[in-house]
Chains A and B, each alone.
Chain A
């Protein structure tokens, strides 16, 4: 199946700093999604982004499908941004719109 790799695995930031999280995938995809898992375990959909760039407040994401990667930008980080960020891809050859997840980037924002 498709391989999804995220980097870095762990990231510690001072509040107010910016960061970039990366997601690489091994095959062509129909779409890509970014999720945030908060410290209580809830998974929240941040972006549905098959290609190009989207922005939502301090967060933005860019997917370059032809080069098989996506980037999640967090600006002016806040302690509430802490948690684990996952990217998930839907392979062009998968069934039923299945999503395959990377192992995540654990972000800790220090006050």
Chain B
């Protein structure tokens, strides 16, 4: 295992509620990423981090925020969940210009 875990693995939530997904790594990698995977779209980047408290938007960032207060933790928050945010969310890490390693994914359903 590459030392990266996501929690929870599955979640069902109601429209309009805030949701936080957690990504935890034990490899001291600098870069961390949140992607969402939807049929027909592959993986699309939501937000990324290039260090503690250093984050930036990806291509589908609307409705999401992130925080990275420690190297090992990268949190993704859906400020007010909508049905369009039903998806599978993946966290990834890289040390630099190297291989990327992914967490197991979180299946989120917004009802």
Which residues does A use to contact B, with CB under 8 Å? Answer: 1, 4, 30-31, 33, 35, 41-43, 45, 48, 86, 88, 90, 95-104
Contacts and interface: CB of A to CB of B under 8 A. Distances in A.
A90 to B, nearest CB: 7
B44 A101 contact: yes
The SS class assigned to the A binding surface is: strand
Interface of B: 31, 33, 35, 40-45, 48-50, 56, 58-59, 88, 90, 92, 94, 96-102, 104-105
B41 A88 contact: no
Contacts, number: 57
Contact of A98 (B40, B42, B58, B99): B58
Contacts of A43: 90, 102, 105
Contacts of B42: 4, 86, 101-104
Given A90-B97, A97-B94, A99-B92, 14 more contacts: A31-B97, A33-B100, A35-B102, A48-B99, A95-B56, A96-B48, A96-B56, A97-B31, A97-B97, A99-B33, A101-B42, A101-B43, A101-B44, A103-B42
